[in-house]
Amino acid sequence: MSAAYPALRLRRTRATAWSRRLHAETLLTPADLIWPLFVTEGEGEPVKALPGVSRWNLSGIVDRAREARDLGIPVVALFPNTPRELRSDDGAEAFNPDNLMCRAIRAIKDAVPEVGVLTDVALDPYTSHGHDGIVDASGYVLNDVTSEALVRQALVQAEAGSDIVAPSDMMDGRVAAIRDALESGGHPNVQIMAYAAKYASAFYGPFRDAVGTHGLLKGDKKTYQMDPANSEEALREVALDLAEGADSVMVKPGSPYLDIITRVKAAFEVPVFAYQVSGEYALIEAGVAAGVADRDAMVLETLLAFKRAGCSGVLTYHAAHAARLLGA
């Protein structure tokens, strides 16, 4: 047996916990996490479609930012639940320098300046029709008119103190327009994390409940978000956004698109982020509720998979829970 057996036994390095730690190829830490948070007017409330997730008022948002700091999470990502009466066809509330998003940015930067703030640049939390842009009479989202609106939105967020603006709308050319406006507007150090490969996915449903767009959307978003069948197109989208001035790029959703993350990282060698979206979170929580899944193990395994695939970091609603596990 000994003469015929290979000299290398790969199980040797797996035999003990200390050895498994020593030979681990991928490291996950709280610094790899971005915590998405929903902000609302008035009193905060749980999001029914996302067990364990809440909408927070301004005081609650500041408390969550302090919690992120204490857990070692470097960035929080903000998404507003705009009151229905402030929504309009053109999403004009997005340009209001005193809107809910801007007040939340200022509140966090005043109280916890060491925590980074990432803000969503898209019109769907502000439009009465639920689309990410301005639509024509047929319901088609107009690209260039929407891009002009996104520039205005990004500028008011930057002026409120946003550290990273993240256009999630998938309009052509909007990264270049936003970068030019930030440079000329006195915000050269505000980063752009482009949602470069955002797919028209079935995994977004609970998010739409959280930001109050459920039931508003007329039609679908397939004319601007990507076809789940395509991967070459994702590389073209990423190349365009990088050429236009993006500092980092995002693939969304996460788990169903690990192949896209790996291809983007290999092709461009730039910071790549994934969004573990609301549907992915809800599936884990449903498995836990059904008694067929261990939350701690699933959370850490899925996040480790993103890092292994090539991510610099992950947006996840499990960020605080994961950070506690990693810090234990």
Q: Is residue 323 part of a domain?
A: yes
Asked whether residue 4 carries a pLDDT value surpassing 80, the answer given is no
Given pLDDT bands bounded at 50, 70 and 90, which one contains residue 211? confident
Q: Is residue 16 part of a domain?
A: no
Q: Is residue 119 part of a domain?
A: yes
As a three-state string, the secondary structure of 1-62 is CCCCCCCCCHHHHHCCHHHHHHHCCCCCCHHHEEEEEEECCCCCEECCCCCCCEEECHHHHH
Distance, in Å, from the CA atom of 136 to the CA atom of 238, rounded to the nearest integer, reads 27
Q: Is residue 7 part of a domain?
A: no
Q: What is the CATH number of the domain that holds 300?
A: 3.20.20.70
Q: Which residue has the tokens 């996460």?
A: 254
Asked whether residue 78 carries a pLDDT value surpassing 60, the answer given is yes
Asked whether residue 1 carries a pLDDT value surpassing 90, the answer given is no
- Which residues span the domain enclosing 206? 27-327
Domain count, the chain: 1
Asked whether residue 209 carries a pLDDT value surpassing 90, the answer given is no
Asked whether residue 136 carries a pLDDT value surpassing 70, the answer given is yes
pLDDT of residue 298: 97
pLDDT of residue 291: 97
* pLDDT tens digits along 212-242: 787 788 889 999 999 999 999 999 999 999 9
Q: Residues 104, 39: contact at Cβ < 8 Å?
A: yes
DSSP state letters, 237-262: HHHHHHHTT-SEEEEESSGGGHHHHH
Asked whether residue 31 carries a pLDDT value surpassing 90, the answer given is yes
| Residues classed as catalytic | 198, 252
Q: Is residue 283 part of a domain?
A: yes
Identify any residues that bridge with 54 across adjacent strands, giving them in sequence order: 46
pLDDT of residue 6: 76
Residue 123 DSSP label: S
Q: Is residue 211 part of a domain?
A: yes
Calculate the average pLDDT of the chain: 95
